[in-house]
Amino acid sequence: MTRLFGSVRARATLGASLVVALALVAAGAAVLLSLRTNLTGQADGRADSAAREVASQLATGRAYDDLDLPDGEDAPVQVVDEDGRLVAASEDLERISGTGTDAVKPGAAAAKQSGGKDGGEEGDEDGDGTESAESSDAADPAEAAERGEIDGDAEYTGGSATVDGESADYRFAAVEVSTEDKGDLTVYAGGSLTDEQSAVSTALTSMLIGFPLLLGVVAGVTWLVTRRALRPVAAITAEMSAITASEDLARRVPEPDTHDEIARLARTTNETLTALQTSVERQRRFVADASHELRSPIASLRTQLEVGAAHPELLDVDGAVEDTVRLQGLAADLLLLARLDAGEKPGEARVDLAAFVREELSQRTRNRVDVHTDLTSVEVAGSRGQLARVLGNLLNNAQRHAVSRVTVTTRADGAWAVLEVSDDGSGVPPGERERIFERFVRLDDARTRDEGGAGLGLAIARDVAARHGGTLGVREAPSGGALFELRLPAPQSSAD
């Protein structure tokens, strides 16, 4: 189960299904509530209409026994007097709730009142037993309107009733009517909720059947769509696993022909693999070149020591010391490159380039040609030891190629501090001006290793410049030789 829901496809399907389920539940609840409210309102309207029809008859003075009541199953009716006694009710009404009284049969008082007014109505009959022409049943409507008053507002309640053995739920409207002969009466009439309950039940059943089917469709479509969308990810994962197993960094993951996030992921992965391959190949070359460069002085030193052990008079002490010094310098260069590759930070010491150059030049004792200076005071922030290594490497390179003169210049150029070392030698061909900064590269292969070095000086100088946030490049000097320009960011003053 944990593995299943650890899948992006499964989580996407579950999330989409949950969102759709919540939307369907909310929409279904809104539909049911609206349907119930609408149908309940219609039941209220039917109940109000039935109650007012009976109230109109009462207002005209019609007797309880003569009331024309609606069919009990459609609209059960109760008429209750001001004392809460049932005085009239629908025929076949067996049980009722939700109205002013649960009585279903009118009492004796209602029968007495429906027989006449305190027995005096017999005097209004003719000798032959017929009613007078002024009978209340023949009253003029205008006169009837004056005999009773119907309340314009009705109150609604819910309840149930049993009519002729059939029970159902109703909405009851209570309408008050005031009459002169019967006093204040309340008419309760019911509007059936059968249609409302049937419609709501049908809608609910449809939702209970349709919603799961719809959720199943949504889940299935989401599963298929995400599966298709994530298919390139599966291919990328498989290829990355194969690359890891084979350690073949020349392989690349497939890039889908789309413009979405997965395509960008594939391109970024390939770019990372390219950078990693370049780095690994660079490390392999570095190790191979370093081994090759170390082999020569070590072999020479061993040979001299073996000869000296067998024939002390033939020991070349100066040569052994020179090989040892060269071996020591190469080891120091390799150690510095390793620290730079590891991301060693240069520090934030303030260095005045003009004073720094004067001090470094004063400590050099083996300059093949004269070194001239044109120094302007300008500060940089960084490692004094690493900057000394850069200046030393640039001077050594210039001394090897200069004819008669080497020049060191410092100056400010906007937000940059610039240090330049130039010579009057043959210069660097334009096509080789980037290659000379690669590790173990020497353009003059005819030179001996002692003269030309191991080819690490310029590579170290550029790496140090990059670690200090600067650049190191080469161009043609005014004298025709090579001009190496080191640009470092000048530190901001505390006032900034």
Mean pLDDT to the nearest integer, 410-417: 93
Domain match, 285 and 154 both: no
Task: Look at residue 261 and tell me whether its pLDDT is greater than 50.
Answer: yes
Domain match, 351 and 379 both: yes
Write down the pLDDT at residue 153: 87
Amino acid at 123: G
Can you spell out the DSSP letters for 318-373? Answer: HHHHHHHHHHHHHHHHHHHHHHHHTT-----EEEEHHHHHHHHHHT----SSEEEE
Domain match, 215 and 286 both: no
The number of residues in the chain equals: 496
- Per the prediction, the chain carries an average pLDDT of 82
* Of the residues 329, 354, 369, the one at which a domain ends: 329
Write down the pLDDT at residue 72: 67
Write down the pLDDT at residue 116: 43
Write down the pLDDT at residue 411: 94
Domain match, 222 and 371 both: no
Domain match, 195 and 164 both: yes
CB 56 within 8 A of CB 35: no
Domain match, 220 and 293 both: no
304 falls within a domain: yes
Within 69-126, where are the H helices? Answer: 108-115
> Which residues are CB-contacts of 238 (< 8 A; sequence separation ≥ 6)?
none
Residue 357: pLDDT band with limits 50, 70, 90: very high
- How are beta strands 148-150 and 405-413 bridged, if at all? unpaired
* Of the residues 275, 301, 329, the one at which a domain ends: 329
**In total, how many domains does the chain have?**
3
Task: Look at residue 494 and tell me whether its pLDDT is greater than 60.
Answer: no
Task: Look at residue 263 and tell me whether its pLDDT is greater than 90.
Answer: no
Write down the pLDDT at residue 139: 41
Task: Look at residue 305 and tell me whether its pLDDT is greater than 70.
Answer: yes
CB 106 within 8 A of CB 89: yes
413 falls within a domain: yes
What is the CA angle 97-98-102, rounded to 5?
Answer: 40
Mean pLDDT to the nearest integer, 16-28: 90
CATH number at residue 385: 3.30.565.10
Domain match, 309 and 372 both: no
238 falls within a domain: no
Mean pLDDT to the nearest integer, 68-79: 83
Mean pLDDT to the nearest integer, 131-155: 57
Residue of 85 and 441 predicted with greater confidence: 85
Residue 445: pLDDT band with limits 50, 70, 90: very low
Token representation of residue 369: 């040609």
Q: In what order do the strands lie in the sheet with 482-489?
A: 370-375, 405-413, 416-423, 482-489, 471-476
Residue 182: pLDDT band with limits 50, 70, 90: confident
442 falls within a domain: yes
Residue 328: pLDDT band with limits 50, 70, 90: confident
Write down the pLDDT at residue 326: 77
Task: Look at residue 120 and tell me whether its pLDDT is greater than 50.
Answer: no
244 falls within a domain: no
Residue 454: pLDDT band with limits 50, 70, 90: low
Task: Look at residue 119 and tell me whether its pLDDT is greater than 80.
Answer: no
Write down the pLDDT at residue 121: 41
For 233-237, 252-256, 258-262, 404-408, which range has the lowest pLDDT when averaged over its residues?
A: 258-262
For 26-30, 358-362, 436-440, which range has the lowest pLDDT when averaged over its residues?
A: 436-440
Domain match, 97 and 153 both: yes
339 falls within a domain: no
Domain match, 12 and 85 both: yes
122 falls within a domain: no
pLDDT digits (tens, 9 = 90+) for 371-389: 999 999 999 999 998 999 8
Domain match, 175 and 320 both: no
Task: Look at residue 354 and tell me whether its pLDDT is greater than 90.
Answer: yes
Beta partners for 472?
A: 486
Residue 141: pLDDT band with limits 50, 70, 90: very low
Write down the pLDDT at residue 390: 92
Domain match, 316 and 358 both: no
Instruction: Find the domain containing 468 and state its range.
Output: 346-489
Write down the pLDDT at residue 183: 87
Residue 5: pLDDT band with limits 50, 70, 90: low
Mean pLDDT to the nearest integer, 308-327: 79
Residue 126: pLDDT band with limits 50, 70, 90: very low
Domain match, 460 and 377 both: yes
Write down the pLDDT at residue 142: 43
* Of the residues 286, 303, 329, the one at which a domain ends: 329
CATH number at residue 310: 1.10.287
Write down the pLDDT at residue 408: 95
C-alpha–C-alpha distance, residues 202 and 195, integer Å: 10
3 falls within a domain: yes
Mean pLDDT to the nearest integer, 439-449: 56
